Amino acid sequence: MSSELVISSQLNWEPIVLDGKTIEGIYSKTLRYAQDKKRPIRLLLKIEAGASYPAHNYPGGDELFVLEGEVNYGKYLLKKDDYLLVPPNPSLVVFSNIGCIMLFALAK
């Protein structure tokens, strides 16, 4: 395995698209892409104040770390520097009242 440097400040925030529809107020920067899965597995996510992501699940679970702001992730209110490990197959709604930026990792 070789080192891979991503300078996130040089990436553009891209809108999140789910089932062909853009999710208003939620953007991502892909840090790591899994070619075998054909999807990003490490992302920076930006959720604007008042934005939400519909109930969804990730079969392998996910992990997140809040860098700025706060986010409601299912039953949890996460604030700056909070980390959450989510087990496989949750069905969670995500929203932010004040906005946030978080590091998001999907299981491979």
Segment 57-104, tens digit of pLDDT: 677 788 999 999 999 998 999 999 999 998 887 778 899 999 999 999
pTM: 0.89
Residue 106 · residue 58 · CB < 8 Å: yes
Largest CA-CA distance found in the chain, in angstroms, rounded? 40
Note the pLDDT of residue 83.
98
Q: Is the pLDDT of residue 108 over 70?
A: no
* Per-residue model confidence (pLDDT) at position 38: 82
Q: Residue 49: which residues within 8 A CB-CB, separation 6 or more?
A: 25, 96, 97, 98, 99
Going from N- to C-terminal start, the domains of the chain cover 16-106
Mean pLDDT score of the chain:
91
Topology of 16-106 in CATH? Jelly Rolls (2.60.120)
